Structure 1
């Protein structure tokens, strides 16, 4: 489904990724600075490798030999960061609806109401983004990612900075997304208990290499 074989170099940092994702949820662990976030950014198109290929569902996202580098907005890959990046001048409903513009109605995988129900966002729809708690904002961020109808969902330490109470709120929602959407996901974290809860396949990254 996802095949990565590329090299990335920035300053004194080198990343060599060989990844063949088979399971629906792949967890990647590693120390800070090991290259986990850089890996996700290369897959999403935020960063560009200098060599290799990235293939999703038999569609080349990057290939240096064929000079292919699909722009980020065309990759059908959603990346959720540690901090929920919402439009502060919009309410929750407007933030969610914004994601629907990136795909045609024929290609939509989830309906607005399906995502709202899935993540229990109905009571938050009229609330401004800046009024949300950290856990609420991250739920909206996940919902917006789903409404962009991606073929792959990348989560870069989505629970970082949240206290245990909020983590305990978000993890069940992530499990619901996993169980009910069948959407392939790569989940980066420092915390093995999160991956255990989600029953993820786990790989480790050390000094820019996955094992």
Structure 2
């Protein structure tokens, strides 16, 4: 499904990623600063490797030798960061509709009603963004990502900074996404207990090298 064999260098940091994703959920674990987020950013197209190849479902996204580098907006992937990136001047409903209207009917995979039900967002729709808790904001961020109809969902330590209570709110929603959709996910964390919910393949990043 997802195949990566690339090198990325920045200043003194060298990353070598060589792995394949076969199941629906792949977890990338490792200590802070080991290169986990850098792997995601190269996959989604925020960063460009200096060498190698990245492909998803047999489509080449990046190949250094053949000078292929598909732009980020044409990779149809969604990256969710540690801190929810929502439009503060729009309420929850408007944030969600913004993602939905940018997707054609043909490309759309999940309906608005499906996403609202899946993440239990009904009570939040008219709320302002600054009136959301950390867990609520992250649910909205995940909902907006789903409504963009990505082919691959990447989550970069989405529970970092949330207390135990909020983590216990979010993890079941991620498990439901896995259960009720066919959407592949790459989940980055350094908290192994989070993976109990997701039944994921696990690979580890150690000092810039990926170990399957």
Would you say same fold, with TM above 0.5?
A: yes
Matched, 1:65 2:65: yes
What's the offset of the Cα at 1:116? 0.4
2:22 corresponding residue in structure 1: 22
2:7 corresponding residue in structure 1: 7
Q: How does 1:138-157 map to 2 (within 5 A)?
A: 138-157=138-157
Gapped regions of structure 1 (runs ≥ 5): none
Matched, 1:127 2:127: yes
Per-residue displacement from partner, 1:91-121 (whole Å, max 9, x unpaired)? Answer: 1111111112332111100011110010000
Per-residue displacement from partner, 1:31-70 (whole Å, max 9, x unpaired)? Answer: 1111000000000111110111110111111111111111
- Between the aligned partners of 1:103 and 1:160, the Cα distance in structure 2 is 29
| Partner secondary structure for residue 106 of structure 2 | helix
- Between the aligned partners of 2:130 and 2:36, the Cα distance in structure 1 is 29
1:102 corresponding residue in structure 2: 102
Per-residue displacement from partner, 1:154-206 (whole Å, max 9, x unpaired)? Answer: 00000000000000000000000011012110101011110122111111110
Gapped regions of structure 2 (runs ≥ 5): none
Normalised by the length of structure 1, the TM-score is 0.98
Normalised by the length of structure 2, the TM-score is 0.97
Q: Structure 1 stretches (4+) deviating beyond 3 angstroms?
A: none
- Between the aligned partners of 1:23 and 1:86, the Cα distance in structure 2 is 30
Give RMSD over aligned pairs: 0.8
1:167 corresponding residue in structure 2: 167
Per-residue displacement from partner, 1:109-143 (whole Å, max 9, x unpaired)? Answer: 00111100100001111111111110000000000
